[in-house]
Amino acid sequence: MEKYIKSNTKDKTKKLTTPFISIIIPVYNVEKYISRCLESCINQSFSDIEILLIDDCGNDNSISIAKSFAKKDCRIRIIKNEKNLGLFHTRIVGEKEAKGLYLLHLDSDDYIDYFTCKILYRKVLDKNVLIENINIIYGGGIAA
């Protein structure tokens, strides 16, 4: 924890050096859902995050939508696969590119609660917690 570099979380135009959490989002033909997914990430109550979008070579407007978000928030990075790798391998690409101390995987057709990253942060600081369940709200409004 000593190597953690706290960034200015109020200035979303400033580049983060070491974000606390990397949110990894594989993207493949989800133009219907990607905006809600990204809005849930950029509006987190805990903002010391990076948002990695891994483009798995879909053929809709998902990445165009993502680029419009990335222009407004420097915490968003888009990485493009050379070819379609599928969900599993695309997640691995995201893990390799992540700069955060902790990883949060999120499917691009889902979204997270406003306090998700803050809860993760607090749980990480609790040395007695090994794994924590997080509620994810699926596109159809079903919570898990």
pLDDT for 1-28, tens place per residue? 333 333 344 555 455 479 999 999 999 9
**Whether the Cβ atoms of residue 37 and residue 52 lie closer than 8 Å to each other:** no
Asked if pLDDT for residue 74 goes beyond 90, the answer is yes
| The pLDDT of residue 19 | 96
CB atoms within 10 A of CB 120: 22
| The pLDDT of residue 90 | 98
pLDDT tens digits, 83-132: 999 999 999 999 999 999 999 999 999 999 999 999 999 988 877 665 55
| The pLDDT of residue 15 | 53
Three-class DSSP category at 30: coil
Which band of pLDDT confidence, cut at 50, 70 and 90, is reported for residue 135? low
| The pLDDT of residue 125 | 85
| The pLDDT of residue 40 | 98
Q: What residues contact 144, with CB distance under 8 A and at least 6 apart?
A: 135, 136, 138
Dihedral in degrees, nearest 10, Cα atoms 28, 101, 115, 14: -80
Picking from 9, 1, 18, the residue whose alpha carbon sits closest to that of residue 45 is: 9
pLDDT tens digits, 34-61: 999 999 999 999 999 999 999 999 999 9
CA atoms lying within 13 Å on the CB side of residue 60: 11
Asked if pLDDT for residue 134 goes beyond 70, the answer is no
**CATH dotted code for 21-138:** 3.90.550.10
